[in-house]
């Protein structure tokens, strides 16, 4: 009886550790955004992407951050929504104001994983209009936003240039959270570190 009990305890422990294992946060790609605010250089945001955790989401993001998709890319787009103490949002490659949606998989693609959390400033996550409505829009948090966990797909983290994110966060905005001075992604590039 004690051998059976020990076997069950060991099996439960092994299965539990496999289920609760931390996601692989290997940075597979780096995306570089050179930012201007009101036409003046504000610096560079470097984002590390977790392509082993969210490969489909990362492929979509690097398509727009690099060469583009159907002639659309992040370079030349704006951060159209900024909320101090919350996040900065960009990536509307179609309309440049938050109502456009396109992905390399169609207008929308499904939520890939909720394995990662919005655990602090600099978290990169997909903006959406509800469940399974991911496109090209994304946001970067300026503090922990745990209420978004399970609703938005986290797939990267700012690894350099968090000060630039905070510069954007602190720009003056309209009542509709649009920056008064245009916040532009002047240049965008992708560095592949690990194939996915």
List the catalytic residue out of 61, 79, 138, 139.
Answer: 139
CA distance 33 to 75: 8
Residue 22's pLDDT band, with cuts at 50, 70 and 90, is: confident
Active-site residue flag, 148: yes
List the catalytic residue out of 64, 152, 155, 184.
Answer: 152
List the catalytic residue out of 49, 116, 124, 148.
Answer: 148
Active-site residue flag, 86: yes
CA distance 53 to 73: 23
What is the value of pTM for the model shown? 0.89
List the catalytic residue out of 60, 64, 89, 138.
Answer: 89
List the catalytic residue out of 61, 118, 128, 155.
Answer: 128
Query: What pLDDT does residue 20 have?
Result: 55
Active-site residue flag, 162: no
- Cβ distance 102 to 138 under 8 Å? no
Q: Which domains does the chain have, with CATH numbers?
A: 23-192 (2.40.100.10)
Active-site residue flag, 80: no
List the catalytic residue out of 29, 60, 80, 81.
Answer: 81
- Cβ distance 89 to 80 under 8 Å? yes
In this prediction, residues 55-71 reach a mean pLDDT of 98
Retrieve residue 164's tokens.
Answer: 């630039």
Active-site residue flag, 128: yes
Retrieve residue 150's tokens.
Answer: 């399970």
Give the tens place of pLDDT for each residue, 121-166: 999 999 999 999 999 999 999 999 999 999 999 999 999 999 999 9
- Cβ distance 158 to 43 under 8 Å? no
List the catalytic residue out of 86, 162, 166, 187.
Answer: 86
Active-site residue flag, 137: no
Q: Is the pLDDT of residue 13 over 80?
A: no
3-state secondary structure 70-123: CCECCCCCEEEEEECCCEEEECCCCCCCCCCCCECCECCECCCCCCCCCCCCCE
């Amino acid at each position: 009886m004690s051998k059976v009990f020990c076997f069950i305890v060991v099996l439960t422990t092994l299965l539990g550790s496999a289920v609760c294992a931390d996601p692989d946060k290997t940075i597979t790609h780096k995306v570089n955004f050179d930012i201007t605010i009101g036409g003046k250089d504000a610096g560079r945001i470097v984002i590390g992407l977790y392509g082993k955790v969210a490969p489909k989401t990362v492929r979509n993001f690097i398509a727009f951050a690099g060469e583009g998709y159907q002639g659309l890319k992040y370079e030349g787009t704006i951060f159209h929504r900024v909320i101090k103490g919350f996040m900065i949002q960009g990536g509307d490659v179609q309309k440049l104001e938050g109502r456009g949606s396109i992905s390399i998989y169609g207008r929308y693609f499904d939520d890939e994983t909720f394995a990662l959390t919005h655990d602090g400033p600099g978290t990169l996550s997909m903006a959406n209009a509800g469940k399974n409505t991911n496109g090209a829009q994304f946001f970067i948090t300026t503090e922990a936003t745990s209420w978004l966990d399970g609703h938005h797909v986290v797939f990267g983290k700012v690894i350099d240039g968090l000060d630039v994110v905070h510069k954007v966060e602190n720009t003056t905005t309209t009542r509709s959270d649009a920056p008064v001075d245009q916040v532009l992604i002047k240049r965008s590039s992708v560095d592949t570190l690990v194939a996915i």
